[in-house]
Structure 1
């Protein structure tokens, strides 16, 4: 297990710059509603075709996230970020050539692959932190801000003046700014991996591996439940009678609230233990889902959406944090990118099925059930953390094992 000590990762400059790399990895997912709206208008695509494009992007994202286990510690982190960013930029700009639908599927898969590699890289960088809950809270907060900014700027300032082409060029420039420009302040390689190769790192054990896998399962289930509702938040707002502009403003504010949740988790760290902060925020999320079910009230929709969105970065900061702390090899933490892609792929599909069959309350119940399962799984992981620390010879174990 890592101890809290001087660590080249735990610097504000690294946090900010690696957070921008993470934001590049999440950018296409964050601006997907605006991007797909532009695709539908430009190429005359229907909902089913857009869904296939999203599936292609998520498959590429997940495939590269999984494949990163093979090379994430073999190549320079800066080289990985440059190559991945160039792949995304090339894919985005190739849409300017008005490709066929079949070519668009390939392009979105390639763009997803590039962003998946970037996200896996960011997971690995922050996973090297000696204070993972703090590090991942900051990461999840800062990666959300560029997406929230572009969700407002692209349709309001860019598209009316420069059109579809301007939107794509803006996204490409954003990838340069986030995926390439910050690299001088990003480490070239993992310090923890050097310890593993030299034999100085702690030996992996079944207890630590169990904690890692429980945390991964919790993250996947949580993201599936979240994405099952996120994909339909706009439609829920319209059912409440809200205008598209009002819904857009609420969701943009929700993105910023989501970032705030990450920053609050970063500031809180382990001061209140591992479990209680997550339990309180999951309870707030459940209350938010109940509020969203009250379709007749604007206030209920706004409060419900903000409570729901606040929970995302906060909860993931703790599930990813525990995973990173006990991933003694430093390899499995990159699978957080796979969790994101699978949740983004299966969540909306499950949500759409439930809505068609049983109505909107069904998907809200499903998302709430996922969060309850997450709390139970995460609780088991925390109990294992306590037991592991009690048996450790680390003199700081008593401090770190607060529940």
Structure 2
């Protein structure tokens, strides 16, 4: 007999507060264009230097995401969130001291490490849900809302009045509000405990691991393709003759739509199965990429951008959700933070190379190929999940009621 006690994540208060912690983990990635614009204006950095800063941040993010496997279920979740938030705040405030470029590289790496720890923590908390697709949909929607608010407020209300210092202090305050204030409503640690009295079938355990890794690969491939286009959406819009203000408005609305897609995925859950909702949204995203490739008008740009941005949180809700359900150890789900880090680093690099060599159609084709690949990889994972459930004996486990 196998006794399983699941972490009581499935409460609205925990969803909201853990979602805010996740938003803290995504904070710097969400506001990166504005932050780098401010750094460029203050220090006169060029694109190459800014690219190195982004690489340092993503490296720190990914290293902590990977290292979290060692301690994410051993240390109090509140201690992790508090410590990581303090690290990010300290790194942000250090930018106000006008450090030399070499020091700033280290500061960005530390800030990325702190946000990576927060994101890995949120992945672990939501991964304990008994309805992971719904939980991750809510998480991805929740983490985007503060980013959308800051993208609107920073350039309009903060930077014109208080400049670079005001922007950095605002980000530090936002990190405290997201990573520290919600902690009384965040569980101290997981209550997901598995006691196996009769060992599980080795074949079933192996199949579960395959499903988890296929889901992780699908997430990574999707993020790489999306980020390869996201990094150049503004330049793509200018190719059609659009102004920076118009493009900014479109991307701001698209960011809100991206948040909404997470809540849509949360509301749908598994009502229509696992594969069909994801396939429909991926097909719409590919159609959006085709429209972006037309270079025709504001209309095609807006529709293409909206289709692409809607897909992000929606698709990740299903790939992360499937991964969480079959990650029996509850540890590998934290690698979602590593997927985000690698995708954010590799995607723009590949996109830039393709644009320089072959133009914008090449990067759109690359992103579309990544999305089609995701359908194949995720479809294989879903088939294995269905086979696993058919061979699983429902009498082999007893789920204890929540307290």
TM-score (norm 1): 0.95
Deviations 1:26-63 (A, max 9, x none): 00000000000000000000000000000000000000
Aligned-partner Cα distance in 2 for 1:260–1:396: 38
Deviations 1:61-93 (A, max 9, x none): 000000000000110000000000000000000
Deviation at 1:191, TM superposition (A): 1.2
Deviation at 1:359, TM superposition (A): 0.2
Match of 2:315 in 1: 315
Match of 2:363 in 1: 363
Aligned-partner Cα distance in 2 for 1:100–1:114: 21
Aligned-partner Cα distance in 1 for 2:296–2:36: 29
Deviations 1:329-370 (A, max 9, x none): 000000000000000000000000000000000000000000
Aligned-partner Cα distance in 2 for 1:50–1:395: 56
**What are the residue-to-residue correspondences of 1:274-289 with 2, within 5 Å?**
274-289=274-289
**What are the residue-to-residue correspondences of 1:203-242 with 2, within 5 Å?**
203=200, 205-242=205-242
Aligned-partner Cα distance in 1 for 2:394–2:133: 19
Q: How many residues align?
A: 393
Deviation at 1:5, TM superposition (A): 9.2
Deviation at 1:199, TM superposition (A): 4.1
Deviation at 1:318, TM superposition (A): 0.3
The answer to whether the aligner puts 1:181 opposite 2:181 as a matched pair is yes
Aligned-partner Cα distance in 1 for 2:132–2:290: 32
Match of 1:400 in 2: none
The answer to whether the aligner puts 1:383 opposite 2:391 as a matched pair is no
**8 Å contact kept, 2:7–2:190:** no
Change (3 A) 1:271 1:389: same
Aligned-partner Cα distance in 2 for 1:202–1:47: 55
Deviation at 1:200, TM superposition (A): 7.3
Aligned-partner Cα distance in 2 for 1:75–1:396: 31
Deviations 1:207-231 (A, max 9, x none): 1000000000000000000000000
Deviation at 1:291, TM superposition (A): 0.7
Change (3 A) 1:37 1:321: same
**What are the residue-to-residue correspondences of 1:80-95 with 2, within 5 Å?**
80-95=80-95
Change (3 A) 1:298 1:97: same
Change (3 A) 1:269 1:202: farther
Corresponding residue SS for 1:191? coil
Change (3 A) 1:185 1:200: farther
Specify every segment of 5 or more residues in structure 2 that has no aligned partner in the other structure, as ranges: 398-403
**8 Å contact kept, 1:5–1:130:** no
Aligned-partner Cα distance in 1 for 2:15–2:376: 30
Match of 1:334 in 2: 334
Change (3 A) 1:275 1:34: same
Change (3 A) 1:241 1:22: same
Deviation at 1:393, TM superposition (A): 1.4
Deviation at 1:295, TM superposition (A): 1.1
Change (3 A) 1:105 1:291: same
Aligned-partner Cα distance in 2 for 1:148–1:239: 25
Aligned-partner Cα distance in 2 for 1:152–1:294: 29
Corresponding residue SS for 1:153? helix
**8 Å contact kept, 1:4–1:131:** no
The answer to whether the aligner puts 1:267 opposite 2:242 as a matched pair is no
Match of 1:124 in 2: 124
Deviation at 1:114, TM superposition (A): 0.2
Aligned-partner Cα distance in 1 for 2:241–2:174: 34
TM-score (norm 2): 0.95
Change (3 A) 1:285 1:238: same
Aligned-partner Cα distance in 1 for 2:3–2:293: 44
The answer to whether the aligner puts 1:156 opposite 2:156 as a matched pair is yes
**8 Å contact kept, 2:254–2:305:** yes
Deviations 1:181-225 (A, max 9, x none): 000000011111xx13x4479847001000000000000000000
Specify every segment of 5 or more residues in structure 1 that has no aligned partner in the other structure, as ranges: 398-403
**8 Å contact kept, 1:201–1:328:** no
**8 Å contact kept, 1:60–1:113:** yes
Deviation at 1:296, TM superposition (A): 2.2
Match of 1:304 in 2: 304
Aligned-partner Cα distance in 2 for 1:231–1:209: 33
Match of 1:79 in 2: 79
With 386-395 and 71-80 compared, the bigger mean Cα shift is at 386-395
Match of 2:45 in 1: 45
Deviation at 1:167, TM superposition (A): 0.1
Aligned-partner Cα distance in 1 for 2:322–2:350: 28
Match of 2:400 in 1: none
Change (3 A) 1:148 1:395: farther
Deviations 1:240-261 (A, max 9, x none): 1111111111111011100111
